[in-house]
Amino acid sequence: MRSSLRLLAALPLLCSLSFACGRGREQAPAADASAAEAKADTKAKGKSGKLFDDIASPLEFRDPEPGPRAPDSAAFGAVIGATSYAEIQKLTEARDLHCKDTSVRAMMDAKRAAERKKQEEEGADAVSSASWMNKKSKREKNPQVRFACPKVTSELFTDRERPRSRGRLLYVFDSEELPLRHASYQRSHHNHDAAIADYRDAVAAATAIYGEPTESRGEIPEAGADGKIDFPQGRSLETRWDFSDLTVRVTAIHFGRKVTVGERVEVPHGVRPDAPTMGKPASTKAPALADAAKATPSADPPAPTEGLSKEEQAELEAKRAADAASAAKAGAKAKKPSKG
């Protein structure tokens, strides 16, 4: 009897405890969900905010740090830190190169222009695509210009006699108003011997200008018993020269079916683009831009085509024939007496 009374007396306490525990269990998932949402929101802001805010922020640069300065900044017919975007456009046009701005901003502008033209031709309602046509991402606010020229042959450059190659020439500007920050030439070889010869030549040429390299990575493969070089898949080589106002890199990497060799000359990230010209006389090693339009085809024997595929060789020969015909036509026109 007493035990029954005790049980009845304890029931209210047990019920209250049970309710409190149950309520705690019900509230715990809600609290966990809120914490997870807050964490996800913070992570999302970090992803979409910090990175793209930096890209879209006004351009800010710093002066070069104390240290050795590069002796010269000439590269691929231009001068890093001095040549303007307008001058590069004139230079490439004079050399009959088909180049365009490949930045995100430029590509999206071209896409919008094409869509507007299509709508005008079809009479479509512009509201249907206004969601993406009238809204620009933060990445599009980056004023950078990436002026790329594909299918450029090495014989175009007059800084030295280069091994035969064909690749992409790239000029990068922080904006259309600022001087050249980056210039590079990237090309690929089917033939490993040609690729290594190209890499060695580029390193030797850069060493002659900038002195001993700051760093070299990777071991250059030697010829085997058959006299041929086998550049292993995935192997990469890099030689670089680091200055306070300029970085120079020569690279080679075997990826896929080809070995890609690259040369790049650029102002270090964050440093003002005109740093290479600060307190220095104007460079004299780059060919004068005004002379590019007067350039005539070389009378030297044609460069060897070793390392090029049959399609590339055929295209090269066709281009040479067209250039020769154009030069002959221009010469005949110049010799023709005037009627006056």
Which position has the token pair 């790239």? 170
In whole angstroms, give the CA distance from residue 321 to residue 113.
37
Using CB atoms within 10 A of its CB, is residue 298 exposed (0-12), middle (13-18) or buried (19+)?
Answer: exposed
pLDDT tens digits, residue range 14-52? 555 444 444 444 444 454 555 555 554 544 444 433 433
Cβ-based neighbours of 263, under 8 Å, separated by 6 or more: 184, 185, 186, 202, 206, 249, 250
- Closest Cα partner for 193 from 146, 231, 165? 231
Q: What is the pLDDT of residue 315?
A: 60
Using CB atoms within 10 A of its CB, is residue 10 exposed (0-12), middle (13-18) or buried (19+)?
Answer: exposed
- Closest Cα partner for 304 from 166, 97, 150? 166
Q: What is the pLDDT of residue 204?
A: 97
Q: What is the pLDDT of residue 332?
A: 55
Q: What is the pLDDT of residue 114?
A: 64
In whole angstroms, give the CA distance from residue 284 to residue 73.
10
What parts of the chain have a pLDDT lower than 50? 5, 17-29, 31, 40, 42-56, 284, 286-308, 334-335, 338-340
Q: What is the pLDDT of residue 289?
A: 33
Cβ-based neighbours of 115, under 8 Å, separated by 6 or more: 129, 133
Q: pTM of the predicted model, to two decimals?
A: 0.64
Q: What is the pLDDT of residue 225?
A: 86
Q: What is the pLDDT of residue 311?
A: 60
Token digits for 100? 């365009």
Which position has the token pair 């995935």? 234
